[in-house]
Amino acid sequence: MIRIALLGFGNLGNSLCNALNNNNYTSIIQIYNKSNLRLNDSLKNIPFTTNLTELKPADIYIIAIPDDAIGSFSERLPFKNELVVHTSGGVAMDVLSKKNRKGVFYPLQTFSKSREANFNKIPICVEASKDSDLSLLRNLGEALSENVVEINSEKRKKLHLAAVFVNNFVNHMYTIGHEILQNEELPFKLLQPLIFETAQKIEDLNPFDAQTGPAKRKDKNTIEKHLHLLTEGPYKELYQLLTQSIQATHGKKL
Amino acid sequence: MIRIALLGFGNLGNSLCNALNNNNYTSIIQIYNKSNLRLNDSLKNIPFTTNLTELKPADIYIIAIPDDAIGSFSERLPFKNELVVHTSGGVAMDVLSKKNRKGVFYPLQTFSKSREANFNKIPICVEASKDSDLSLLRNLGEALSENVVEINSEKRKKLHLAAVFVNNFVNHMYTIGHEILQNEELPFKLLQPLIFETAQKIEDLNPFDAQTGPAKRKDKNTIEKHLHLLTEGPYKELYQLLTQSIQATHGKKL
């Protein structure tokens, strides 16, 4: 049984806590959060503290707090030579205080409190400075997911950048689609089958090969009509730049 | 039984043909294409022609050819007062020749020859100048899908614009993610659970509320790090403009 202290209880902390708590190989022995919080019924037996000096011995201390705070927070931990890991895609392992053994446990997914995460398919990216810690993090990952991969800080940064494109920026495209339909009093659910199929198609096809549309086929007529429909502002500029980018990407490889 | 002549056999024509042929309420009585083609076994009993003067009587003539060619093609049809519809999101109904009765039958989905389309959930947008033709197109739509909606040419243009954002532009985001991972020799499948969850999340959540990431939370540190990782070119410009657009969208409504 791997004993875990979970430090931070945002969207990721919450999802991770539920997954690690419903697991035969892991046990959350304590939750820390800087402010008080109400744990739901399934978690209410887990000891909770807002005081770092009250932290109990654990095999792994998992930090799940905003990126900018990770370094200074790790300095404030009142112990040394323990395994302390963070859960961030964009932060290097070396940001952690050197007084403890360092590691990273990064589940590559978007988490929200309102949706239960199924960790089984989520890639878990692990890194550690000591081999024995890497094994422990692998075991922890495998208790949750069938897809545990060792990835160093340099590569993880790039992976996180790619995740911003396929998650944050994609969601912004959905937001723009939603706004366009709302202005026409059309229901957003009209777009949902298209959105799913777009995501599903690239299970079989390389996204480069899956590209379609007026930009790809250089259909100036349709592009002009679309630009005419968009009022001046960021969405029009985005349409233009995305069209150029698709043409540049496909021009250079075709 | 609705008798259909299918005029054009690209990705959409092909998908539509399979769906209409496997249906108790519809019958493809003829396929026209400007060049010869090899129909697969399940379609090979359908009469085929490359000659418009050989077209047989049908209840609906469905044009499924590139947008730019629809108008002039409809002028060349050697009959009048028949129901002739096109299948394009971005083309107004009035582009069709006035010598026949006009209509639109627009399935809102992305089609490819390598993937079989399940029409059942695909929204089918219909429009016609005569009420009786609209009913017939509704019946045709309902033979394929549980989601048939009447949408006029003005609204359909906007819907098509929104579709470009949530399909073409989203796929370009996937392409960029793919390229970033490829440069690091990381497998694209690492991003797939994130891509699916991003698409699935907005079944429950408005995409505006689902937005997360460094742009939304104005995390300058991470944004700077990401820009530093991107070489000069359209992807860097896109990152900047998408970040600005997310901040403008969320700034104006928060």
- Pick the residue of A148, A155, A175, A244 with the most B CBs within 10 A to test the interface with B by mutation: A175
| DSSP-derived secondary structure for A85-105 | EE--SSS-GGGS-TTSEEEEE
Contact indicator for A240, A227 with CB cutoff of 8 Å: yes
| Average model confidence (pLDDT) across chain B | 95
Same domain (yes/no): A10, A105: yes
Same domain (yes/no): A135, A163: no
pLDDT at A112: 81
ipTM of this model? 0.94
Average pLDDT value for residue range B166-191: 97
Question: Does A190 contact B235 at a Cβ distance shorter than 8 Å?
Answer: no
Same domain (yes/no): A105, A191: no
Same domain (yes/no): B99, B27: yes
pLDDT at A254: 42
Same domain (yes/no): A119, A191: no
Same domain (yes/no): A10, A129: yes
- Nearest CB among B174, B204, B207 relative to A171 is that of B207
pLDDT at B252: 62
Same domain (yes/no): A8, A125: yes
Q: What tens digit of pLDDT does each residue of A110-157 get?
A: 988 788 889 999 999 999 999 999 999 999 999 999 999 999 999 999
Same domain (yes/no): A135, A162: no
Count of the separate structural domains present in chain A: 2
Same domain (yes/no): A26, A127: yes
Report the residue of chain B nearest A210, measured CA to CA.
Answer: B171
Same domain (yes/no): A184, A144: no
- Pick the residue of B171, B220, B225, B252 with the most A CBs within 10 A to test the interface with A by mutation: B171
**Cβ-Cβ contacts under 8 Å, B150 against chain A:** none
Same domain (yes/no): A144, A208: no
Q: What is the pTM of this model?
A: 0.94
Given pLDDT bands bounded at 50, 70 and 90, which one contains residue A93?
Answer: very high
- Pick the residue of A67, A202, A246 with the most B CBs within 10 A to test the interface with B by mutation: A202
Report the residue of chain A nearest B148, measured CA to CA.
Answer: A190
**Cβ-Cβ contacts under 8 Å, B110 against chain A:** 194, 197-198, 201, 212
HEC assignment per residue over chain A = CEEEEEECCCHHHHHHHHHHHCCCCEEEEEEECCCCCCCCHHHCCCCEECCHHHCCCCCEEEECCCHHHHHHHHHCCCCCCCEEEECCCCCCHHHCCCCCEEEEEEECCCCECCECCCHHHCCEEEEECCHHHHHHHHHHHHHHCCCEEECCHHHHHHHHHHHHHHHHHHHHHHHHHHHHHHHCCCCHHHHHHHHHHHHHHHHHCCHHHHCCCCCCCCCHHHHHHHHHHCCCCHHHHHHHHHHHHHHHHHHHHC
Same domain (yes/no): A26, A98: yes
Domain containing A134 equals: 2-151
As given in the structure block, the two tokens for residue B113 are 């020859």
- CATH number for position A239: 1.10.1040.20
